[in-house]
Amino acid sequence: MSNRKRRCLSIGLVLAGTISGNVLCAQVPESGQTSRELGILQVPPSQPADLIARGEAVFNYWCRACHGPEMAKPGTAALAAKYRGALPAALAERTDMTPDIIKHWVREGISMMPFFRPTEISNADLEALARYLSKSGGG
């Protein structure tokens, strides 16, 4: 089998896993925490450390099932295929994302990733998530 065919096959398998795993990602948090236990924050924490901690909790509840550090995660596998080592595939390891682009991707979705409504991830929780993933506790 040629390299081109192998590459197309592996990309197809990643996409198939992403498509089939996408339904599970948004519904089954790995943290074991329910949305009631996580709560929906309406006002972001004022202290940078609290903001980052809340962002990590939001990531673990909503995002980790697809974007955790394991290559078996569909979002992580898709990003690994896309970036081929040029950037980390696990979102929590990235340092190149801005809060604004994170907010855009969460609200609009991208590729196979679904969008999330403010009734799922509040604007305050989205701010915390964006700060956590962008490694920026400040404004």
Among 79, 89, 86, which Cα is nearest to 113's? Answer: 79
Residue 5: predicted pLDDT: 53
Buried b (16+ CB within 10 A) or exposed e, 20-36: ebbeebeeebeeeeeee
Whether the CB-CB separation of 133 and 94 falls below 8 Å is answered with yes
pLDDT level of residue 35 (50, 70, 90 thresholds): low
pLDDT digits (tens, 9 = 90+) for 52-76: 999 999 999 999 999 999 999 999 9
The alpha helices in the chain, defined as continuous H runs, are 3-27, 35-38, 48-58, 64-67, 74-83, 99-108, 123-134
Q: Please name each of the domains of the chain with its CATH number.
A: 3-134 (1.10.760)
The C-alpha atoms of residue 96 and residue 91 are separated, in whole angstroms, by 10
More confident residue, 32 or 121: 121
Whether the CB-CB separation of 10 and 81 falls below 8 Å is answered with yes
Residue 12: predicted pLDDT: 53
Q: Is the pLDDT of residue 78 over 60?
A: yes
Residue 80: predicted pLDDT: 96
pLDDT level of residue 25 (50, 70, 90 thresholds): very low
Mean pLDDT of the chain: 80
β-strand partners of 110 = 113
Q: Is the pLDDT of residue 23 over 50?
A: no
Whether the CB-CB separation of 62 and 2 falls below 8 Å is answered with no
Among 111, 84, 81, 86, which Cα is nearest to 96's? Answer: 86
